[in-house]
Chains A and B, each alone.
Chain A
Amino acid sequence: STIVMVFEAPKGSRKSFDDGWEEGERKGGWQWSVQKGQKIKYGEAVGWV
């Protein structure tokens, strides 16, 4: 079985937390935190804004 999620989010940028942004800062957009083919568990983040 499969689950497909389609959602709207602010356009992403290449920056990420490693650049020292505080969580919740409006500077970045959508960021993926998973890769294709990666095994994932319920509760893990697939991405964040």
Chain B
Amino acid sequence: LRTSLRNTKVEWKPIPVALGIGFLGAVQFYRVRQREQRRQIEEDEEARSQDEGHGSEEDEKRKPKKRKRIKPSGPWQVQVMSTLPLKGISRLWGRFNELQIPYYLRVPGFKLYSWVFGVNLSEVSESDLHIYPNLAAFFYRTLKPNIRPLDPRSTALLSPADGRVLQMGMIQHGEVEQVKGMTYTLEALLGTEPPSASSDSAPAQGPKKDAQGLKRHALPKEGEEDIITSDEEFAEVNGISYTLPNLLSGPKSQGGTPAMDASTTPKSLSETEVRADLALGDGRKQLWSSPTPTQAATALYYIVVYLAPGDYHRFHSPTSWVAEKRRHFAGELYSVSPYLQRTLPGLFTLNERVVLLGRWRWGFFSFTPVGATNVGSIKINFDRELRTNSLTTDTAADRAAEEAADRGEPNPGFAEATYAGASKLLGGHALRKGEEMGGFQLG
């Protein structure tokens, strides 16, 4: 044996990459399982100690509650799926797709992917597919300019992305109408009721001066929606007082009639501010110049658009609107395939999603991209802080929970941010119709 060992030439060979990745996946899977079991034991102990009434009420409230693992109900396939470390798998999938593809394999590789998932390569902005270093970059491809003309009607709401309409309808009693047998409560989907009813960023009553000394108009309460009396003082900028009519048409002339039309708005507003106001103002102009539509009955509508793996995965603003708030639900990452939508009730309230809340010309408007296992990362171009499907996501959600616990409030389940800066007067981020808002990324 000694002589054969000594005489045998040692040859090193690379272990196949796939085996290595499989091994890493198994290690990660084992580790996550251990962590889940440990967490399960802690939760059981906690529940048992609560039963026994240990610790004072106050202590319990102050101690930050650990985020309970979401346990969906559903058939055995769903139970099996809920034991999988979906986030781990999604992040692994993302890592895998960021691996550089050898230069000469790119074109055949992307053509195969396009053939399998029905990608129309003639619409891709880059004709030379070598440019895309990996599948993640190809997945987040852009389209040729003007290949998607926008519907010319000014009152039309556009589809934000390529996809298929899964469900649409009117919302009755705060519930999204039956989506393939599943009913969602609006509150569960968006967090709480729409901001207009309980926007905590609005001063409770009466206009108040904020840091720059600007008077802010109190957002209307339930029932008083969007009815702003025309000569109520709306804002004061650089010593010029504005009411809604003259915000769009400049300061009042002596006779009290607007001195200028909307196109000659006062120079003291920056262009973006004016744009934001016009985006809202347009609607509001209709609010006060003709019988206001919101005095006509309004209703809540919803539409669900499903993006298949081969679709163009960037999304665009469906209309001119102002995004005021963002609520980021860390959630799980189940697949959102039509099959799972049929079998997993409440899927959209479980998955990681980013709820953008704001207003358009007819009132409340919300835009919610929902992540999935293979596309767990949601990117919003104008939200630099947002990190989805990453370890920082979980910590952000836990931090929100702790802050809520400190305030003695229940865990909101989401991390919230408010957009400011598009308009000093109104706040929020103004979006134009058709403007790219962000997209879904692999992993």
Residues of A within 8 A of B (CB): 1-12, 23-24, 26, 29-30, 32-49
**Nearest Cβ on chain A to B309's Cβ, whole angstroms:** 9
Residues from chain A with a CB closer than 8 A to the CB of B156 are: 33, 45, 47-48
Residues of B within 8 A of A (CB): 148-151, 153-168, 171, 176, 186, 189-190, 194, 290-291, 293-294, 296-307, 312-313, 315-316, 318, 336, 348, 360, 362-372, 375, 378, 434, 440
**Nearest Cβ on chain B to A49's Cβ, whole angstroms:** 5
- A36-B153 contact given A2-B304, A9-B301, CB 8 Å threshold: no
Contact A5 B160 (CB under 8 A): yes
Residues from chain B with a CB closer than 8 A to the CB of A48 are: 153, 155-157
Enumerate 20 A-B pairs (CB-CB under 8 Å) in ascending A order: A1-B370, A2-B307, A3-B307, A4-B303, A5-B160, A6-B176, A6-B364, A7-B301, A7-B363, A23-B153, A38-B165, A42-B160, A42-B316, A43-B148, A43-B149, A44-B151, A45-B159, A46-B157, A46-B318, A48-B153
Residues from chain A with a CB closer than 8 A to the CB of B296 are: 10-11, 26, 29
Q: What is the bound-complex CA distance between A45 and B299, given in angstroms?
A: 19
Contact B318 A35 (CB under 8 A): no
- A2-B165 contact given A24-B154, A43-B150, A48-B153, CB 8 Å threshold: no
- A40-B305 contact given A5-B318, A6-B171, A11-B296, CB 8 Å threshold: yes
Residues from chain B with a CB closer than 8 A to the CB of A46 are: 157-159, 165, 168, 303, 318
Residues from chain B with a CB closer than 8 A to the CB of A1 are: 306-307, 313, 336, 369-372, 375, 378, 440
Contact B306 A6 (CB under 8 A): no
Residues from chain B with a CB closer than 8 A to the CB of A44 are: 151, 158-159
Q: What is the bound-complex CA distance between A6 and B194, given in angstroms?
A: 10
Residues from chain B with a CB closer than 8 A to the CB of A36 are: 165-168
Contact of A3 among B157, B290, B363, B370 (CB under 8 A): B370
Q: What is the bound-complex CA distance between A46 and B370, given in angstroms?
A: 19
Q: What is the bound-complex CA distance between A11 and B367, given in angstroms?
A: 20
Residues from chain A with a CB closer than 8 A to the CB of B171 are: 6
**Nearest Cβ on chain A to B219's Cβ, whole angstroms:** 14
Residues from chain A with a CB closer than 8 A to the CB of B315 are: 3, 42
Contact A3 B168 (CB under 8 A): no
Residues from chain A with a CB closer than 8 A to the CB of B160 are: 3, 5, 42
Contact A8 B300 (CB under 8 A): yes
Residues from chain A with a CB closer than 8 A to the CB of B434 are: 43
